[in-house]
Structure 1
């Protein structure tokens, strides 16, 4: 059986695993991500450390796949820009190849996660898939006819920076009104914290959960409160779902997929998020009532999708 290592590099952790041809993880390793102020070499040291630990448990590995949170060039070797790290036009594959004696492939983490969901998760058997990852921001990816669609320069799928509100909320990217300012974990927490800071009586449940300290509020706390029946938390998630549905309707007009897979940390809210998203999607879909509607489903593989997909893409590339 052909084994591959997948590495998922996020803003807080570098997670790795040895993955078999069925998408099963046979061994795991994890390190904290070095602070983004550190030089690129420090992040590379962390990746090499994780890979070598995994190779010590499974030396017969065919390839290593790296899923990076950032813009990855079409050559699948260079990280053009990683907002949470210090990489700018970083030749990551070449740098790692000098220290790891196994074929290496670098890809965007959302591409890797989408590939994993198509191969082993929620989108198996679907010919046209769009994945939307709701985390701190919004990432995304497209898989069509068994191929990841990366675009001319490798940067396709950055759906979070579609403008949905002209002159709206300022985004970290420098523009205004980006989708991720309305349908992401950051948007959810921003609105909930604002209600606590305003001493809104309808936010009393949320305020009590964090002892009145708005800065301690997180997305999972809002989701937990909603599951416990807090009306305000349910409303906040429904609003995120509404904006999610608007963006998905736009993506349907552009790509006409059969399935949208919703992943990322915010997707843990399940139907509290997806129910409102489907309702808005149906109302906003171009040609509604006269065309087939895409399915909107939750991702199946959770936080491990990125490393599973990175490993499988690297194995596929090494075999071609």
Structure 2
């Protein structure tokens, strides 16, 4: 009986040490586009697929983007989050933190864009998250490739007590046909980090910036962009409405009477001629041109010799 009491606790201890069965390769899997930690700028590249791998101290995502280039390879963004906790507690696959160095970046570009001469930018640039570096290369006159890198980590002197842990590393490889440097560089200014670690101590972005002294004080007006004091909004320009063109109405010409060919002109003498027999023959109008038919007046019909001279 005493041995039974001793065996029971031993069996309970052995059962507590047993873990859940795991599938080989379960730390690497394909995830949906909605689970991306980083999203491209709106209207730029679309997410074609995501490969996610969990480590004992971090998370890595390779976000594959749409590609229209003839350069071998896929447009991809590699996102690494340091400071996460893995459910597989007894794994020893730590995500190695890569310090950004010139030699390290050159090795990365040779592995990602082999055979393409890349030229680093000498300018100091930064986006909403901090400073970043980039390089351009042309494998052909119509192709342009960009490799960019960025590291987000709270500086040691700015870390609050027991907080400010974690880091984010970003690598971007993009090639496109007919693209300009400005277009590819716009990716680094427009992407958004939408993932984080559920831990109050995790903050690779550093403390928030100070608030402007102008906020909340009188005598410091703040205007919208491209607007000064006393400026008025531009009046709406009148919109010209196109009206259909009216056709001019041409007056209709009245028809002109035309004499028919071969018609003879008929002259009818006035009856007044009958009473003007006493006038001399010199005042009588000459007869019309030949070819016309003359109808005598009724007064001349049956006239005597005295009046016959005045009749035609």
- Bin for the TM-score computed over the shorter chain: under 0.3
TM-score, normalised to structure 1, is: 0.21
Higher relative contact order (CA 8 A, sep 6+): 1
Whose helix fraction is larger, Structure 1's or Structure 2's?
1
